[in-house]
Amino acid sequence: MWKWLHPYAKPERAYQLCNTLLPWFALPAVVCLVVGTIWGLAYAPQDYQQGDSFRIIYIHVPSAMLSMSTYVAMAIAALVGMVWQWRTAYMAMIAMAPVGAVMTFIALLTGAAWGKPMWGAWWVWDARLTSELILLFLYFGVIALYTAFEDKQQAGKAAGVMALVGVVNIPIIHYSVEWWNTLHQGSTITKFDKPSIATEMLWPLLLNIFGFALFIALVTTMRLKNEIIRREMHRPWVQMLVKQKETNDAV
């Protein structure tokens, strides 16, 4: 059933797949981000309570949502690597890690900037903020473990185990709002039947979430390409690739 997937375990095929996918991620990502951000920041209506400062939602919510999804994706990649013994899956996992860490950082930073005018404090020890910070630590752990090993094959496996251990933390992050009753406002868009956010505000937000997701995919693919090339440096197909590039550049 999953047989069609197996050829992509080969680094060469994975590299080609990356090349095919890259433009499909790049163009929509740019379109979504530009349209979503300009619409959200300039044209969406003001919030009746929070005024203009709510507009940071267009950066904050996508980065916060996707910082968690990226971690889950990382854990899935690690699991795939473990079950089917794919080297490329570990490479994909480690390609995602810094991207996810940066997303988490953006979420924390924009959250602080939003918290100052709304709550009167840059930082409060609220459950969601804390969990997001823990998520950042988890990313750091995976990256640190990966860099500690000389042998990158081994490093990928070890970091994969750690990513899977950390994924236990994701549900705690997600349900912390219900578990601890705190300052952070409940989410406004996941209630699909009747969202408590106005439609004119919702559309740019959805566009930006989509754009952020595509952007993460784009950067991950680019990093994955680099990772494959770096690991397979001595393989004939990489050397062919380099030669081709050189002749192209010469012409």
Partner 1 sequence: MGGVFKRDLALAFRQKAELVQPLMFLLMVVTLFPLGVGPGPDTLQLIGPGVIWIAAILSSLMGMERLFRDDFADGSLEQLQLSGLPLYAVATMKVLCHWLVTFIPLLILSPLLAMFLNLTVDMYIALVITLLLGTPLLSLVGAIAVGLTVGLQRGGVLLALLLIPVFIPLLIFATSAVDAAALQLPYRAQIAIIGAMLLIAMALAPAAIAYSLKVSQN
Alpha carbons 102 and 30: distance in angstroms, whole number? 18
**Residue of 8, 105, 149, 203 interacting with partner 1 (CB under 8 A):** 149
- Residue 145 engages partner 1 in binding (rule: CB under 8 A): yes
* Cross-strand partners of 51: 47
Contacts of 205 (CB under 8 A, 6+ apart): 36, 40, 57, 58, 61, 62, 189, 197
- Nearer Cβ to partner 1, position 161 or 242? 161
- Nearer Cβ to partner 1, position 130 or 187? 130
**The tokens 């840059």 sit on which residue?**
122
* Size of the residue set binding partner 1 (CB under 8 A): 23
Alpha carbons 215 and 203: distance in angstroms, whole number? 18
Supply the DSSP symbol for 120. S
Alpha carbons 41 and 250: distance in angstroms, whole number? 45
The nearest distance, CB 111 to partner 1, in angstroms, is 18
- Residue 141 engages partner 1 in binding (rule: CB under 8 A): yes
Give alpha helix (H) positions in 120-235: 127-148, 152-166, 169-179, 199-231
**Residue of 144, 206, 240, 242 interacting with partner 1 (CB under 8 A):** 144
Judged by CB under 8 A, the chain residues 63 through 92 that form the site for partner 1 are 82
Torsion of CA 95, 96, 97, 103, to 10 degrees: 140
CA angle 70, 208, 184 (to 5 degrees): 70
Instruction: Record the tokens describing residue 116, joined without a space.
Output: 């100052």
Which residue in 112, 143, 118 sits closest to 47, CA to CA? Answer: 118
The nearest distance, CB 168 to partner 1, in angstroms, is 8
- Nearer Cβ to partner 1, position 8 or 149? 149
The nearest distance, CB 11 to partner 1, in angstroms, is 20
Stretch that binds partner 1, among 37-45, 54-62, 133-141, 237-245 (CB under 8 A): 133-141
**Residue of 34, 121, 168, 242 interacting with partner 1 (CB under 8 A):** 168
**Residue of 22, 31, 164, 197 interacting with partner 1 (CB under 8 A):** 164
Alpha carbons 125 and 105: distance in angstroms, whole number? 16
The nearest distance, CB 166 to partner 1, in angstroms, is 7
**Residue of 140, 198, 237, 240 interacting with partner 1 (CB under 8 A):** 140
**Interacting residues with partner 1 (CB under 8 A):** 82, 130, 134, 137-138, 140-141, 144-145, 148-149, 151, 154, 157-158, 161-162, 164-166, 168-169, 172
